[in-house]
Structure 1
């Protein structure tokens, strides 16, 4: 039960940033899938991933947490609002932490009604919006820096009858035998943080991609969008000082100990949360560990102030990422775009990963 509560708390805070809309194999008896609602009937819901993975049919129980998550903007946030803020890194001293994601509003109630939500995260009250400072009960004030890359979502309670076929969704549940029970369900465009698809048109500062299933999405490419190419590599090509992102072969709680890797990315690792480059390869994409190589043989990486040994699991792959440019984006190419949905249905990218050629 402790493991379930810990994982649910982590998923609730990090999923919209870390997980795309491809299926992800969660640890043990846990099941996690992001995609679109393809069926709703009574107390049952089916979520089908866009891209890889199989559809998951789950039972909505009386204690299932239901939330609607819609894109919002920083101007929607007012003094006194309740928020949860995910930062890019731990602040040093009193320095403001860059805000990756701001969740506005309380979490949803159980499907059966009653009770308050509040999976994961530390609820805080907005003290000021310029500069952005929040007050955490018992911990005092905490300043954040809001940038054009900061994602803002509005979270509201969701009634079971309001779930519709065709909506974006993220489902986290547990499996007992052949039955999956939803423990946490989020619905709405605010759950989307990565989209796999094929480029249909490419112009300066914009793409149109077609995701599996035929839906076309307009993608905006602001200045500074990371565009990356990838190719197969080998462990012997890894050099001291290079940046790496490690996909664990198994789920690990906490941030200590050696890592057994199923996939290793090296080279131009994107800043912030790098889980989107792993897609469905990660047991849980938010578990991707980023750092720098402190020793190439045996492979050891530095994560913050800690050093962690990395062992490649049987069949593990090494992928080298390199910088690419907007003129490398051409119709017909398969890509994964990472970023956030906007209220008008377009997608603002902070990163584009070209499929291996």
Structure 2
């Protein structure tokens, strides 16, 4: 079991790193003849890592993919049969609700297309706007009736729509440190529906459980602090960020607060190519409250079976075009594999994540 990543401890780590490193400008490294270096940006999976000079713009696009499979309770693997016969159904006692979970998710995929815009309001303040479009798919096994391990069939649910919009300011404290002051605007839907297969063999269309909804439905604060520094051949950094939910949404619940801490290091193979390694720890709380329209003998409908703690390792590469027609364009690729996942109740653990992105400043 891993230790939860508390914000205060992580901030102290960032402060210690900052005090141990010399100040260095955030923009184009002077060791590169073109003034452009692949080290000038953090790995593509890190958001809000760098500032821009006054009047400078940057546009970006990221494609983010996540695969989940299997079932875990805490850090232990369990089988669908174990879930269907031993895990109590929170809604037992309501009409048609069996005593144990009879619908078990087995895999999930999520794709996110994210568009971003950054603008240097001054040399010390950069504004950032990010929007996204999200697609989710989840596969399930339905067990027959109210008990036993006889499988009735399988089904897949799918949701897709515009997600929540992020607006933030990066406020410089020194050349290497800035605050991340953000807010999440609830533009994503929280009333998605899909057709399911019930243990009694019916196929109704119902509101999908919490992991399959697209937005949060709440206004959220997203504070953070970022440290990043570099030399001609190496770069390194650390970031702490959080999500604080500001009350319940219109359906009567809020997703759990989040806290994330990450550290990374990069090495340049050439001015336009840099390899990276990164570690990220994250803690996510359970859902607070309940949507009365989300009910069923499935783990994803239980607000207590959400969230947990994870530690993930990432490897990536950044490319920066230092000349020619594509000068100034950047391409980043980063893949992640979980090292530890300690999940609340039966949940699907993450198998891997992949982020690919392009950026252009002007």
Does the alignment reach a TM-score above 0.5?
no
TM-score band, normalised by the shorter chain? under 0.3
TM-score by length of 1: 0.23
